[in-house]
Structure 1
Amino acid sequence: MDGPDVTFSALVAARLLLAYAPLPEALNHDHQLSSPLTSYSRLREGIYLFDHGIDPYSGGSFRHSPLLLSLFSTVLPLTPYTSPVLWTAADAVAAWALVRIWRLRTGAKLTSRDGQVAAIYLLNPYIFLPSLALSSSSIENALALLSLMFACRGRASASLLTLACLVHLSLPSVLLLLPTLLLLITRPVSRLALPRPFGADLKRTLPLLAEFVGYGVLLTAASTLVCGNWNWAEKTWGASLTLPDLTPNPGLWWYFFTEMFDHFRPFFLMVFSVHLLIYVVPICIKFQHDILYAAFTLIGVLALFKPYPTLSDPGLFLSMFSLFPEIYPYLRHPIVTALIHLHASLLLPLFNSLWLRQGTGNANFFYASTLVFGVGNGAALLDAIWAGLRIAIGNVEDGYEVVQE
């Protein structure tokens, strides 16, 4: 067994042992680790109602996809013994996919950094804490990385089916559709230092888009068949568009709409939703020479502006930095960004406890910490965009400075 394989196996084993510790019980209801759309306790409640012949979507608490409902109520029943294994397996698959993407990007079958790439993902506290809380965001991360990995390998059907499942679980992930289609007709090799116009025929994406739509229709039909009605669409996809549950989370939406007058709500819901979409085409155009980097950047946009984020969303973005070591010398403020994240990681649980457990604070306390967290995520995203553009200029002579790319 090679060194990277030993490292990977040891990390997965340690992660599994940690999953069976008493700690996860205290994390299941933490608003930073799971949202109304990814909560394990709500998933268990929905499965219980479904098993007893009650429509879980008739209330206002269950917002998981019918795919998870049918999967975990039949094929993979959730128990205190099986759940840690399933979530550890999701993390292991995600880390394996990340390593495979790294190998495909470098064109090597085995590299010395394989173990580091896996460790950066599996040891990232933004990743393993939501997984210990059994948040379904861990499954979403695995699907996102699998879709990109299959796209890098040119396996269109597997990539599009995985992406369709991801979009079915988390509607905002549709932002990854365009870079995935473009990645399927190009190669994932690094071209950041030598940018060139996009050379592939865009018409080749049309049958791929039709295939993705076909998978989406099949999953929608299967979900409707499981539930027997269309209530699930409003409770799952509709939640990402209308924000009916204002449970606190690390995102930027919940407090804004808590304080808003009802007659302004439809307009700003439209603004916030469309705001996510406006980044897709410009980023894909700007990084047309390296579509994998465009996908990475859009994952950062999702981590920052998603309606119901958890810590695993920025965790995925930060972990993917390991795929692009060539940009490290061109990052402008990595230390400042890391310190902001450290500051936010201390403030979030502290202010959450002061407000919701101790009762000595209010919503402003926790929202202030989420703003700090948003600044950290935004700083990382902007630095990644800058470095991805700056690398094309190369070294600058003494006395000169790059002001704008």
Structure 2
Amino acid sequence: MSRKWLSNFALAGTIRLLLMNSEYQKTIGNRVEVSTALNSWKRVTEGVYLYEFGIDPYEGDLFHETPIGLYVFKLIQKYLPQWALFLLFVVTDLTTALCLAFTAKRYAIELATKRKEGKEDNRKSSDTPDTSALYVSAGYLFNPYIILNCVGLTTTVFTNLLYSIALVSMMRRSIFWSCMSIALLTLQGLYPVSLMVPATIHIASAAKNRRTNYFYIVTMIIIFTSVLTALFIISYNIMGSWSFLRNTLGFILTVPDLRPNIGLYWYFFTEMFEHFRWLFIASFQINVSLLYIVPLALRLRRDPMLLAFSYLAIAAIFKSYPCIGDVGFYISLLPLWKHLFQHMQQGFIVGCFLLFCTVFAPTVWHQWIYSRSANANFYFGVTLAFAIAQIFLLTDILFASVKHEFAVKHGINKKVNGNEAKLLLE
């Protein structure tokens, strides 16, 4: 097993380094599917350059990282040469895969414990915790979306590391590190605040009585609020003003930059009349940030990890400025629910959708921007199909979870003539 781990990490790191030192690196880094206004390394470089010359990088519409990120990236660019910068991105990506492996192992142990206690399917599973961890880490290391995201030098690499720390902290029931990582993510991207719900549920589930349960919930809220407030104060001290709010959280909420990406916002807000803009902004933001939190939390309260996966998927689909790095992160978690695959019905459709959209997106972009034989409708059609494929994937996983619970509760035999059968609820 250790040989497989080492070979996977060595091969994944080699692939990334070779692509970074090839002629394709700049092409990948300039792709609209990879780099957005929020994660472009080119924008980071220009923002740091302005800051070093005493110009507020938040004055214009160029830089959208947090002041803490600005300070860290300034140190990175000041002290790291080009080869060390590439190595930093690769090591960060490999560390993320390692954190996800620890998360998968803890989750597999919890599932095995539930089986022994009779709360889950009590059949013997062929997957051990180590196998589950290997699948998840390999799913991240060799995910094409993640590889392109790393090679393109996007700051989503560091965001994914924070996501993985948040997940492993949640599974280990670490209150401080869960709050710290989610607070950093919230400061940067706003939408990850929803991860406080599954983290609080999972940590509070360890309580032996209701009073202790309430204690954990209140403690989580207080620590998260305190850490987030401290991060805002640190950001203010770095910049000396609150100007960064308009170009970070305000930029995400108001969507002023309408350059094409794999999301849905840019086309709608380009085509609509200006007096309808705030109505649609409110509708879109409520959809991604508030609409699904309570219903999903009530339904998936017994499986906080699946709840966190759902929130990550919803944010990646409906957020203001998504990129393929966001999509690749939550897709890498799919091996965690290998026991649900037998209940899924749309795997082939979703796989074909994702494959075709991944190929067609750069093709249609070239026809639109360079050949001028297409228009924005063509590219938006591809991004819309890509979003639909992700919605199908998420709903299929959630319905598979419901079918699995039904089968476990009613003791349904899932074998017909000695072969595994699919359960259909009509």
Do they fold alike, i.e. is TM over 0.5? yes
Cα deviation, residue 401, structure 1: 6.6
Distance 2:285 2:132 in 1: 38
Asked whether the equivalents of residues 143 and 328 of structure 2 are also in contact (C-alpha less than 8 Å), the reply is yes
Structure 1 residues 74-93: aligned runs within 5 Å: 74=75, 77=78, 79-93=81-95
Asked whether the 8 Å contact 1:297–1:384 carries over to 2, the reply is no
- Contact map agreement 1:7 1:115 (CA 8 A) in 2: no
Confirm or deny that 1:392 pairs with 2:405. yes
Alignment equivalent of 1:321, drawn from 331, 334, 347: 334
Deviation of 1:250 (Å): 0.1
Q: Secondary structure at the match of 1:324?
A: helix
Match of 2:233 in 1: 221
Indicate the residue corresponding to 1:192 in structure 2.
none
The answer to whether residue 164 in structure 2 is matched with residue 145 in structure 1 is: yes
Quick one: distance in 1 between partners of 2:217 and 2:180? 15
Q: What is the alpha-carbon distance in structure 2 between the residues aligned to residue 182 and residue 24 of structure 1?
A: 42
- In the TM superposition, residue 213 of structure 1 has moved relative to its aligned partner by 0.8
Aligned mate of 2:135, from 112, 116, 123: 116
Partner in structure 2 of residue 378 of structure 1: 391
CA distance in structure 2 between the aligned counterparts of 1:99 and 1:149, rounded to whole angstroms: 9
CA shift, 1:402, in A, is 4.0
Q: Contact between 2:183 and 2:224, CA under 8 Å: does it hold in 1?
A: yes
| Higher mean displacement: 15-24 or 107-116 | 107-116
Aligned to 2:73: 72
Q: Which residue of 2 aligns with 1:248?
A: 260
1:203 CA drift (Å): 4.6
CA deviation vs aligned residue, 1:6-44 (integer Å, no higher than 9, x gap): 234323432333333332111222110011011111111
Which has the larger Rg?
2
1:186 aligns with 2:205: yes
Query: For 1:309, what is the secondary structure of its paired residue?
Result: coil
Q: CA deviation at 1:341?
A: 0.5
Contact 1:348 1:366 in 2 (8 A): yes
Hey, what does 2:191 align to over in structure 1? 172
Equivalences for residues 227-238 of structure 1 within 5 A:
227-238=239-250
Letter in 1 for 2:45: R
Aligned length: 394
Alpha-carbon separation, structure 2, partners of 1:75 and 1:135: 14
Q: Is the 8 A contact 1:32 1:310 kept in 2?
A: yes
Counterpart in 2 of 1:364?
A: 377
- What is the TM-score normalised by the length of structure 2? 0.87
Q: Which runs of 5 or more structure 1 residues have no equivalent in the other structure?
A: 188-197
User: What amino acid does structure 2 have at the position aligned with 1:170?
Assistant: G
Task: Tell me which amino acid in the other structure corresponds to 2:374.
Answer: G
SS in 2 for 1:317: helix
- Distance in 2 (CA, whole Å) between partners of 1:268 and 1:116 is 40
Contact 1:83–1:134 (8 Å) recurs in 2: no
Q: Cα deviations across residues 185-231 of structure 1 (Å, max 9, x unaligned)?
A: 236xxxxxxxxxx9982452111111011111111111111111111
Q: CA deviation at 1:358?
A: 2.8
Change (3 A) 1:112 1:199: farther
CA distance in 2, matches of 1:75, 1:136: 12
2:366 and 2:215 map into 1 onto residues whose CA distance is: 53
**C-alpha spacing 1:202/1:333, structure 2 compared with 1 (3 Å):** farther
Equivalent residue number for residue 224 of structure 2: 212
Please state whether the residue corresponding to 1:201 is helix, strand or coil: helix
- Distance in 2, matches of 1:42 and 1:28, equals 12
Instruction: Indicate how the Cα distance of structure 1 residues 265 and 92 shifts in structure 2: closer, same or farther if over 3 A, else same.
Output: same
Q: Which runs of 5+ in 2 are unaligned?
A: 113-127
Please state how far the C-alpha of 1:130 moved relative to its aligned partner: 1.4
Q: CA deviation at 1:115?
A: 2.9
Tell me whether 74-83 or 276-285 shows the greater mean CA deviation. 74-83
* CA distance 1:110–1:389, shift in 2 (3 Å): closer
For 1:352, which of 342, 365, 368 is the aligned residue?
Answer: 365
Classify 1:251/1:400 alpha carbon distance in 2 versus 1 (closer, same or farther; 3 Å): closer
TM-score of the superposition, structure 1-length normalised?
0.92
- The alignment's C-alpha RMSD in Å is 2.3
The AA in structure 1 aligned to 2:35 is: S
> Paired residue for 2:108?
106
Following TM superposition, the consecutive aligned residue runs of length 4 or more in structure 1 with deviations greater than 6 angstroms are 396-401
**Cα distance 1:227–1:357, how it changes in 2: closer, same or farther (>3 A)?**
farther
8 A contact 1:19–1:88 mirrored in 2: no
Residues 34 and 323 of structure 2 are in contact (CA less than 8 Å); yes or no, is this contact kept in structure 1? Answer: yes
Q: Which is further off, 63-72 or 354-363?
A: 354-363
- The one-character-per-residue Cα deviations of 1:63-117 (angstroms, maximum 9, x if unpaired) are 1111211001125646422321221122112111110011111229962343332
Inter-partner Cα distance in structure 2 for 1:18 and 1:183: 39
Distance 2:11 2:158 in 1: 18
Please tell me whether the aligned partners of residues 4 and 114 of structure 1 are also in contact (alpha carbons under 8 angstroms): no
| Distance 1:166-1:137 versus aligned 2 partners, 3 A rule | same
Aligned residues of 1:37 and 1:64 also touching (Cα < 8 A): yes
Residue aligning to 2:3: 3
